[in-house]
Chains A and B, each alone.
Chain A
Amino acid sequence: MLRNMPTLRDLATTIRSKNAGVDHITFDLIFRERANFERVRDSGVLSRAKVAALYGIPEERVTDFVVFEPANAIKFTIRRARPSGSPGESDVFGAQQYAPLFAIEVP
C-alpha cells in the first residue's frame, strides 16, 4: 500500500499515557531525532483542538499542552471523567489511552 505521509508511530520513539495524579491522564510523545520532533511540532497535527477531537472531549478537558524542548517531547494532559479507580473506570493507571495517536499522519 502506498503511503504518502509517515505517522506519529513512525516518527516518535515513545508514545505513552499515564496518570498525572488521580484526576488526570497525561500523554508523552518523545522523539529521539530532533528533526522528527521539530517536524511534528511545526506540522500542527497536535494541538489542544486536535487532541480534543481525537478523544471526543470538549477542549476544556485538555488541561495542558506543552512542547518540552529539553526532552524533544510534546506533552498534553486530559481531565478524567471520574477519578482513577472509581467504579466504572477501566484503566486505573491510565496506561492504555495513547493508541489513537499512532495513526496520525504528519505532513
Chain B
Amino acid sequence: MADVSILCPTGHLGFTPLEPASFRAGCALKPDFIIADSGSCDIGPYPLGADGQASPVAWQRHDLEIMLLEARRLGVPMIIGSASDTGTDRGVRQFADIIRDIARENRLAPFRMATIFSELTREEVLGRMRAGAPVQGLDGRSDADEATILRTDRIVAVMSAEPIAAALKAGAEVVIAGRSSDCALFAAPLLNAGMSPATAYYAGKLMECASFCCEPFMGKESILGRISEDDIRVTAMHPGQRCTPASLASHAMYERRDPFREYVATGYVDMSAVRYEQWDEKTARATGARFVPSATPMLKLEGAGKVGERRLAIVGIRDPYTIENIDKAMDWARARLAERFGPPEAAGWTVHYHAYGRDGVMGALETHRPVRPHELGIVVETVCADARRAEEICALAARNLFYARLAEVKGTAGAAALMSDEILVGKPGYEWTLNHVLPVADPSELFRTEFTTVDARMKEAA
C-alpha cells in the first residue's frame, strides 16, 4: 500500500489566520489531501446556542481561500470539518457560500462539493428518546430527560469518518462538514485507502491541531503526515519547528482526560502501547495504536441553551478596610438585592461578583486568597430572563457595593470606585446542556449530505 500524505495548516480554521509560508512549503511536497478542522467547544456555549460564530468572516475566508486555491491547483481533495466554529447548518452553508465566492472570483475550473449537515432539531431527539433510545450523559452527567432537551436551543451531532468517507467515494473534491470529530476528517481518506480504524483515527488524532504537535510551541503552522498501515510519520513544515517523540507524545495527552483513549462513533483508539521515535531531523514516527470496536455505534450530541440576558459592571476598591471586609460588603449587597427582587432562585436572577485581585481567575478553586490585596477589581455579572430587569439588578448590585454598610468604614462618601456608572450589555448567557451520546444503528444516520458542482463559469441561478 502506498503512503497517503495529508497537509494540515491549522487546528481551528479561522480562529486566527493560518501562516501561508509553511502551508506553501507543504504544498510543494504534493500532498494527497488538504485537511483542517474549524470547530471547538473551547469557545463556550454561546456560539452554538445562539447560532453565531467565534471567528471573524474575514479570517475564515482568508484560510479557506489559501487552502482552496492550492487544493484546486494540485487537484487534490480538501476537507473542512465543524464549519464556522460550531458545525451548525448555518456554518456549513456559510462556508459553502465562501467556497463558491472564492471559486467565482478566481475563475476556478468546475469541481464537486459535498456539504454534510449535522444539526438536529429538538423534536428529532425527543422522538428518538420516546422511541426508547437513551440520551446518555458523558463525563459524569446524568442521562438527558425531556426537560434537558426542551431547555436546549441548538443541537449538533458529532460525526465520525463514515459520512465524510462516503462523500469522498462519491467524488467530492471539496467536503464542508458540520460538527465532526477532529480526527475523523483525517481518518476518512485513510479508511478509504484501506487502512485500519486504528491507524486512520490515530493519525487524525496526532495531526488535528497542526503545529501544536511540534516544538517549539507555534500555532497555525503546517504539518505534513505520511501514513501507511501502522506507520504514521509527521513532519513540521515551519523551518524553525521539529516534530519529535516528546512533542508528539505531549500532544497526545493535550485537552483530554484520558491520554490512552480516543473515542469515535464505532469504538475507541487504544493508545496505551503506542511507540514514538525520531525518523529524521523534522519528523517523528508513531506506531502501535489499536482499535477497540463498541457493540453499538454511539454519536455524541452537543447542545447549548439560553440561561438569560447578561449585564456587567466594573467596580474597583482601594480602601484596605473595605477590602478586608469585602465578603461582608457583598453579603450585604446580596441581601438588599433579595429584598427588592425576591430570592434569586425563585425569582430567576443571579449575581456573580468576580473579585479580580483575590480569586477572580480561579473562583472556588482558589485556596490562597490574599487577605489584603492592594486593590480589588470586581466584575459584577448579572443574569435574568428579562433584559431590563437584568440591567436594573446589575445596577443595584454594583451601586450596593458603593453604599455597602460596614461598621468602621472611614470613607463615608462611597465604599467603591465605579469605573463609570455604566451597565455593560453582555452577550446572553448560555450553558452547555448536552454533552451526551445517543446510540444509533448506523453511524451515518443522523447526517445529511448534499452534492453540488461549483462552476465559476455558470451564471448565478435566477
Contact = CB atoms under 8 A, between A and B. Distances in A.
Interface in A36-81: 54-57, 63-64, 66, 68, 70-73, 75, 77-79, 81
Nearest to B246: A71
B140 A23 contact: yes
A81 B257 contact: no
Given A20-B255, A90-B362, A100 B42 contact: no
B371 interface: no
B109 interface: no
Contacts of A23: 138-141, 432, 435
Nearest to A94: B42
Given A23-B140, A75-B259, A86 B431 contact: yes
A91 interface: yes
Interface residues of A, number: 45
A22 B352 CA distance: 20
A73 B42 CA distance: 23
A63 B141 CA distance: 13
A11 B430 CA distance: 40
A22 B381 contact: no
Contacts of A81: 363-364
Interface residues of B, number: 49
A102 to B, nearest CB: 11
Interface stretch (B43-51, B68-76, B143-151, B223-231): B43-51
A32 B247 CA distance: 11
Nearest to A66: B259
B431 A24 contact: no
A21 B435 contact: yes
B45 A28 contact: no
A21 B257 contact: yes
Contacts of B140: 23, 63, 79
B139 A79 contact: yes
Interface in A78-107: 78-79, 81-93, 96-97, 99-100
A19 interface: yes
A95 B289 CA distance: 29
A96 B246 CA distance: 23
A64 B276 CA distance: 24
Nearest to B255: A18
A94 B255 CA distance: 10
Interface in B358-410: 360-368, 381, 383
Nearest to A76: B257
B307 interface: yes
B141 A87 contact: no
B258 interface: yes
B432 A86 contact: yes
Contacts of A54: 367
B254 A28 contact: yes
Contacts of B139: 21-24, 63, 79
B7 to A, nearest CB: 25
B429 A87 contact: yes
A88 B352 contact: yes
B452 to A, nearest CB: 34
Contact of A73 (B250, B258, B308, B366): B250
B400 to A, nearest CB: 18
Given A30-B250, A90-B354, A97 B362 contact: yes
B242 to A, nearest CB: 14
Given A70-B274, A90-B361, A96-B362, A21 B352 contact: no
B256 A26 contact: yes
Nearest to B354: A90
Contacts of A57: 365
Interface centre among A55, A79, A83, A90 (most CB of B within 10 A): A90
22 contacts: A18-B254, A19-B41, A21-B139, A21-B257, A21-B435, A22-B302, A22-B435, A30-B246, A70-B252, A71-B253, A73-B249, A77-B257, A79-B140, A81-B363, A83-B432, A85-B431, A85-B432, A87-B352, A90-B362, A91-B361, A92-B43, A100-B368
Interface of B: 41-46, 138-141, 245-246, 249-250, 252-260, 274-276, 302, 307-308, 310, 350, 352, 354, 360-368, 381, 383, 429-432, 435
Given A23-B139, A23-B140, A90-B360, 5 more contacts: A20-B255, A21-B138, A22-B302, A63-B140, A92-B42
| Leading 8 A-B pairs by shortest Cβ distance | A85-B44, A71-B249, A87-B429, A83-B432, A88-B352, A23-B139, A70-B249, A22-B432
